[in-house]
A and B are shown apart, each in its own frame.
Chain A
């Protein structure tokens, strides 16, 4: 019973304390360089509202998070349904593994592969496009296109996880319902649309929130794809975590960075509450 104390102590030190400290710092003008670190109330947050770098980071991050969501969820649902339908096929293990591998491989090497694919001069994407007569694009140097590239990379990684969770969901659906539907003459796509999709709603909700939250924490993908050779990361695509780290470690404004972290936390909490709210509503209905 007392054996839990070390774990509790570790937990308090590496988890609780820094979370509380983030909240505390966000109300202080806490700069590494200055000796005085006065309490300034909501001043950091007020400054954030007028900060163009922060705004563009927030907008980019939101676009990326929702972009990944819109691509990943429908694709994952369809792919999971098809893999489930072909469970008895000899290849189903291969499908599962292939779709899931991008989710587990180290992020940086994988991002490196995509960097080459998107490369304007040497990449196969432009080669393929020019084959179809499309003008080559400077994928990673255009502010809009590079956001799309990050969305593609993040979706590629997120897909496997979503498929896996959906597969678990499909395996838990009652078989009898599908048999009844088939006897009533429902086709495969029909029972997918009218049975599976509504019944998997709680799972869709869960996967959506997880995908969105990890989308809001995007950092490494932007760091690799949108950094140039001079080592000035994030010139094209600024995201929240990057802006936060830059404020903290390049501009030495830790309190200000903490207030950004609090905004990130608020977004995540909001998403989680929405998830629970919708789940409860569904439970009542």
Chain B
């Protein structure tokens, strides 16, 4: 009797120490991940902090993290002296138009590739996928000359030419059409005399709301952060996107780090907020890029 109860107590003690050990491990992992997260965010925090520093503090050594007497000087200077808002406007209209174009082309082509799987269709689809491997940078120079021939340099339309279709988007929608749009539903609608276009608009699209949402977020951010293409297409100050404008602004002769940071922060803060709001969509979209099998 005594032996077994001793044994029990020992086991109890062991269980408690195991639990304690697990708690210590959990807490230290949390601390580690927390530090990593902060380190990842730190550069952006620095940038936002710099935006509020006075020129004198900007030059102080050692550098400060939190501005001693925060000022809005940099923001008003940069908004007054550079067409920052215009550049943001250019980027915004480019990103929204690209998003609409990519969602439209992906929805239509993805649906047709998903539902009409003839041999010839599959060949064309394979071609779509194969070109997805080719990086944009490889063929952007000939594309530049096409845009030039159309007379669309320095315009949002010219920018848009490079971002009208997205192979991954077509692929994503096709997969979802195959798995989430039952043939029976379409057949039933056809028997009821519905037109193909009506079916697409009223039956197919609502079923694809999730993936289309994810795709729009991806497409928007893709165009919003584009760099090399706007760099060659938009060469006049009034047609710069925000990325190009900032990049060239920072190579100017009178670079003022405070103003530069203010300009950067003006761009960063809304896009981070937008991302945090749309995080679910975005993560879903990006995660599905990994699921190519």
Interface residues of A (CB under 8 A from B): 1, 3-4, 6-8, 10-11, 13-19, 21-22, 25, 79, 82-83, 85-86, 89, 91, 94-102, 104-110, 112-117, 121-124, 127, 130, 156, 159-161, 164-165, 167-169, 188, 203, 206-207, 213, 216-217, 219-220, 223-224, 227-231, 233, 241, 244-245, 248-249, 254, 257-258, 261-262, 264-265, 268-269, 272
Docked complex Cα distance between A14 and B140 (Å) = 9
Contacts A1-B116, A85-B29, A100-B283 given; 20 further ones with Cβ under 8 A? A3-B196, A6-B105, A8-B124, A10-B164, A13-B146, A14-B143, A91-B30, A94-B37, A95-B37, A106-B224, A109-B268, A124-B65, A161-B286, A168-B287, A217-B135, A223-B247, A245-B141, A261-B137, A264-B135, A269-B133
Stretch at the interface among B6-14, B69-77, B208-216, B270-278: B270-278
Residue B63 lies at the interface, judged by CB distance under 8 Å to chain A: yes
Which chain A residue shows the least CB distance to B218? A104
Q: Which residue of A lies closest to B135 (CB)?
A: A217
Tell me if A79 and B36 are in contact (CB < 8 A): yes
A-B CB contact pairs (8 Å), 20 listed: A1-B112, A3-B108, A7-B109, A15-B139, A19-B139, A95-B33, A95-B37, A96-B283, A105-B44, A105-B271, A106-B268, A107-B227, A110-B268, A117-B43, A124-B62, A127-B61, A156-B40, A224-B247, A258-B141, A261-B138
Interface contact A241-B137, CB-CB below 8 Å: yes
**Closest Cβ–Cβ distance, residue A267 to chain B (whole Å):** 10
Counting chain A CB atoms within 10 Å of each CB, which of B137, B140, B246, B260 scores highest?
A: B137
Q: Quick one: CB contact mask for B68-96 with A, threshold 8 Å, 1 for yes? A: 00000000000000000000000000000
CA distance A67 to B64 in the complex (A): 31
B33 touches A164 (CB 8 A): no
Knowing A14-B143, A21-B142 are in contact, say whether A229-B251 is a contact too (CB < 8 A).
yes
* B254 closest partner in A (C-beta): A229
Query: Does B63 contact A127, Cβ atoms closer than 8 Å?
Result: yes
Nearest Cβ in chain B — how far from A139, in angstroms? 14
Residues of B within 8 A of A (CB): 25-26, 29-30, 32-34, 36-38, 40-41, 43-44, 46-47, 50, 58-59, 61-63, 65, 105, 108-109, 112-113, 116, 124, 127-128, 131, 133-135, 137-143, 145-146, 161-162, 164-165, 196-197, 200, 221, 224-225, 227-228, 231-232, 242-243, 246-248, 250-253, 255, 257, 260-261, 263-265, 267-268, 271-272, 275-276, 279, 282-283, 286-287, 289-292
Query: Given A16-B131, A19-B139, A241-B228, are A156 and B43 neighbors across the interface (CB < 8 Å)?
Result: yes
Question: Which secondary structure characterizes the binding site on chain B?
Answer: helix
Q: For B162, what are the chain A residues with a Cβ–Cβ distance below 8 Å?
A: 14
Q: Pick the contact of A25 from B36, B142, B252 — CB < 8 Å?
A: B142
Chain A residues whose C-beta falls within 8 Å of the C-beta of B257 in the assembled complex: 116, 122
Complex Cα–Cα for A94 and B40 (A) = 12
Q: Is the CB of B46 within 8 A of A101?
A: no
A220 touches B228 (CB 8 A): yes
In contact, B37 and A99 (Cβ under 8 angstroms): yes
B265 touching A109, Cβ below 8 Å: yes
A98 near B232: Cβ-Cβ < 8 Å: no
Chain B CB within 10 A, most for which of A79, A101, A203: A101
On whether the beta carbons of B44 and A101 are closer than 8 Å, the reply is: yes
**A127: chain B residues within 8 A (beta carbon):** 61-63
B227 touches A220 (CB 8 A): yes
A188-B25 in contact given A112-B47, A268-B134 (Cβ < 8 Å):
yes
